[in-house]
Amino acid sequence: MTADAHVELRPATAADDHFLRDLYATTRARELAATGLTPEQVEGFVNMQWRAQALDYTARFPAARHDMVVADGIDVGRFWVDHRPQHILVLDIALRPEWCGRGIGTILFTNLQATAAATESAIGHSVAKDNTQAIRFYRRLGFDVVDELDFHHVMKWSAGPG
Protein backbone atom coordinates (compact mmCIF):
# COMPACT_ATOMS: atom_id res chain seq x y z
CA MET A 1 0.00 0.00 0.00
CA THR A 2 1.22 3.47 -0.73
CA ALA A 3 0.69 6.58 1.36
CA ASP A 4 -2.15 7.59 -0.94
CA ALA A 5 -4.09 4.32 -0.57
CA HIS A 6 -7.82 4.68 -0.18
CA VAL A 7 -8.99 3.61 3.29
CA GLU A 8 -12.67 3.49 4.14
CA LEU A 9 -15.07 1.97 6.62
CA ARG A 10 -18.22 0.02 5.89
CA PRO A 11 -20.64 -1.55 8.36
CA ALA A 12 -19.79 -5.13 9.31
CA THR A 13 -22.52 -7.63 8.45
CA ALA A 14 -23.16 -11.30 9.09
CA ALA A 15 -21.48 -11.98 5.73
CA ASP A 16 -18.21 -10.77 7.32
CA ASP A 17 -18.32 -13.25 10.22
CA HIS A 18 -15.81 -15.72 8.74
CA PHE A 19 -13.29 -12.93 8.09
CA LEU A 20 -13.89 -11.41 11.53
CA ARG A 21 -13.47 -14.74 13.31
CA ASP A 22 -10.20 -15.38 11.47
CA LEU A 23 -9.07 -11.83 12.23
CA TYR A 24 -9.81 -12.38 15.92
CA ALA A 25 -7.73 -15.57 15.79
CA THR A 26 -4.72 -13.59 14.53
CA THR A 27 -4.99 -11.26 17.52
CA ARG A 28 -4.74 -14.20 19.93
CA ALA A 29 -2.27 -16.39 18.02
CA ARG A 30 0.86 -15.42 19.96
CA GLU A 31 -0.61 -16.03 23.41
CA LEU A 32 -2.39 -19.23 22.36
CA ALA A 33 0.77 -20.67 20.83
CA ALA A 34 2.31 -20.68 24.30
CA THR A 35 -0.53 -22.66 25.90
CA GLY A 36 0.26 -26.11 24.52
CA LEU A 37 -3.34 -26.55 23.37
CA THR A 38 -4.01 -28.75 20.36
CA PRO A 39 -5.11 -27.02 17.14
CA GLU A 40 -8.66 -28.28 17.75
CA GLN A 41 -8.65 -26.85 21.28
CA VAL A 42 -7.33 -23.53 20.00
CA GLU A 43 -10.05 -23.40 17.35
CA GLY A 44 -12.75 -24.12 19.93
CA PHE A 45 -11.35 -21.51 22.30
CA VAL A 46 -11.10 -18.88 19.57
CA ASN A 47 -14.65 -19.56 18.39
CA MET A 48 -16.00 -19.28 21.94
CA GLN A 49 -14.05 -16.11 22.75
CA TRP A 50 -14.89 -14.41 19.44
CA ARG A 51 -18.61 -15.03 19.97
CA ALA A 52 -18.42 -13.93 23.60
CA GLN A 53 -16.62 -10.69 22.68
CA ALA A 54 -19.15 -9.85 19.98
CA LEU A 55 -22.10 -10.55 22.29
CA ASP A 56 -20.52 -8.52 25.09
CA TYR A 57 -19.76 -5.48 22.93
CA THR A 58 -23.19 -5.60 21.31
CA ALA A 59 -24.95 -5.83 24.69
CA ARG A 60 -22.87 -3.17 26.48
CA PHE A 61 -22.54 -0.78 23.53
CA PRO A 62 -25.67 -1.24 21.41
CA ALA A 63 -25.19 2.03 19.50
CA ALA A 64 -21.51 1.39 18.68
CA ARG A 65 -20.38 1.24 15.06
CA HIS A 66 -18.80 -2.06 14.08
CA ASP A 67 -17.08 -1.39 10.77
CA MET A 68 -14.92 -3.28 8.36
CA VAL A 69 -11.69 -1.53 7.42
CA VAL A 70 -11.27 -1.56 3.66
CA ALA A 71 -7.98 -0.54 2.01
CA ASP A 72 -7.85 -0.20 -1.75
CA GLY A 73 -11.04 -2.27 -1.98
CA ILE A 74 -9.75 -5.13 0.21
CA ASP A 75 -11.15 -6.04 3.65
CA VAL A 76 -8.15 -5.69 5.96
CA GLY A 77 -9.58 -5.28 9.46
CA ARG A 78 -12.24 -4.00 11.78
CA PHE A 79 -12.85 -0.85 13.79
CA TRP A 80 -15.47 -0.98 16.58
CA VAL A 81 -16.20 2.45 18.07
CA ASP A 82 -18.82 3.78 20.50
CA HIS A 83 -19.61 7.49 20.03
CA ARG A 84 -21.10 9.19 23.09
CA PRO A 85 -21.45 12.86 23.99
CA GLN A 86 -17.97 14.18 24.90
CA HIS A 87 -16.45 10.69 24.77
CA ILE A 88 -15.55 8.27 22.00
CA LEU A 89 -14.60 4.79 23.13
CA VAL A 90 -12.59 2.55 20.81
CA LEU A 91 -13.73 -0.94 21.66
CA ASP A 92 -11.44 -2.66 19.20
CA ILE A 93 -9.23 -2.13 16.21
CA ALA A 94 -7.65 -5.07 14.45
CA LEU A 95 -5.86 -5.33 11.13
CA ARG A 96 -4.64 -8.41 9.30
CA PRO A 97 -0.94 -8.74 10.22
CA GLU A 98 0.20 -8.26 6.62
CA TRP A 99 -1.55 -4.86 6.57
CA CYS A 100 -0.02 -3.54 9.79
CA GLY A 101 2.63 -0.84 9.53
CA ARG A 102 1.19 0.63 6.34
CA GLY A 103 -0.43 3.73 7.83
CA ILE A 104 -3.99 2.42 8.00
CA GLY A 105 -4.27 2.76 11.78
CA THR A 106 -2.88 6.28 11.58
CA ILE A 107 -5.50 7.20 8.98
CA LEU A 108 -8.31 5.74 11.09
CA PHE A 109 -7.19 7.40 14.30
CA THR A 110 -6.39 10.81 12.82
CA ASN A 111 -9.87 10.81 11.24
CA LEU A 112 -11.35 9.83 14.61
CA GLN A 113 -9.30 12.55 16.33
CA ALA A 114 -10.67 15.12 13.86
CA THR A 115 -14.21 13.99 14.70
CA ALA A 116 -13.43 14.14 18.42
CA ALA A 117 -11.94 17.62 18.13
CA ALA A 118 -14.96 18.89 16.18
CA THR A 119 -17.35 17.56 18.82
CA GLU A 120 -15.11 18.45 21.81
CA SER A 121 -14.87 14.78 22.71
CA ALA A 122 -12.09 12.72 24.21
CA ILE A 123 -11.10 9.31 22.85
CA GLY A 124 -10.56 6.38 25.20
CA HIS A 125 -9.09 2.98 24.47
CA SER A 126 -7.57 0.15 26.50
CA VAL A 127 -4.36 -1.47 25.34
CA ALA A 128 -2.73 -4.66 26.60
CA LYS A 129 0.28 -3.77 28.74
CA ASP A 130 2.47 -6.23 26.84
CA ASN A 131 1.58 -4.73 23.45
CA THR A 132 4.49 -2.32 23.32
CA GLN A 133 4.11 -1.68 19.59
CA ALA A 134 0.51 -0.50 20.06
CA ILE A 135 1.43 1.61 23.09
CA ARG A 136 4.12 3.37 21.03
CA PHE A 137 1.57 3.91 18.24
CA TYR A 138 -0.98 5.52 20.56
CA ARG A 139 1.64 7.65 22.31
CA ARG A 140 2.81 8.90 18.89
CA LEU A 141 -0.78 9.99 18.24
CA GLY A 142 -0.96 11.88 21.53
CA PHE A 143 -2.65 9.33 23.78
CA ASP A 144 -1.66 9.20 27.45
CA VAL A 145 -2.05 6.41 29.99
CA VAL A 146 -4.70 7.61 32.44
CA ASP A 147 -5.40 4.41 34.39
CA GLU A 148 -4.05 0.91 34.95
CA LEU A 149 -6.03 -2.31 34.97
CA ASP A 150 -4.61 -5.76 35.64
CA PHE A 151 -3.54 -6.42 32.05
CA HIS A 152 -4.36 -3.17 30.24
CA HIS A 153 -3.47 0.49 30.13
CA VAL A 154 -6.43 2.81 29.81
CA MET A 155 -5.35 5.47 27.31
CA LYS A 156 -6.97 8.78 26.47
CA TRP A 157 -6.64 11.45 23.82
CA SER A 158 -8.16 14.89 24.10
CA ALA A 159 -7.90 17.85 21.74
CA GLY A 160 -7.73 20.28 24.62
CA PRO A 161 -6.58 20.33 28.21
CA GLY A 162 -7.69 17.47 30.47
CATH code of 18's domain: 3.40.630.30
Distance CA 143, CA 83 (A): 17
Distance CA 162, CA 160 (A): 6
Q: Which domain holds residue 15?
A: 7-158
Segment (H or E) for 151: none
Does some domain include residue 21? yes
Does some domain include residue 44? yes
Q: With 0.85 as the threshold, say if the pTM is over it.
A: yes
Kindly tell me if the per-residue pLDDT of 5 is higher than 80: no
Q: pLDDT confidence of 2, banded at 50, 70, 90?
A: very low
State the average pLDDT over residues 30-58: 87
**CA 110 → CA 20, 24, 123, 129, distances in Å?**
23, 24, 11, 23
pLDDT digits (tens, 9 = 90+) for 94-126: 999 999 889 999 999 999 999 999 999 999 999
Q: How large a percentage of the chain has pLDDT more than 90? A: 73
pLDDT digits (tens, 9 = 90+) for 128-142: 998 899 999 999 999
Does some domain include residue 85? yes
Distance CA 43, CA 73 (A): 29
pLDDT of residue 1: 39
Does some domain include residue 2? no
Does some domain include residue 35? yes
Say how many domains are in the chain. 1
Higher pLDDT: 11 or 37? It is 11
Does some domain include residue 34? yes
pLDDT digits (tens, 9 = 90+) for 65-86: 999 999 999 999 999 999 998 8
Does some domain include residue 1? no
Kindly tell me if the per-residue pLDDT of 37 is higher than 90: no
Does some domain include residue 97? yes
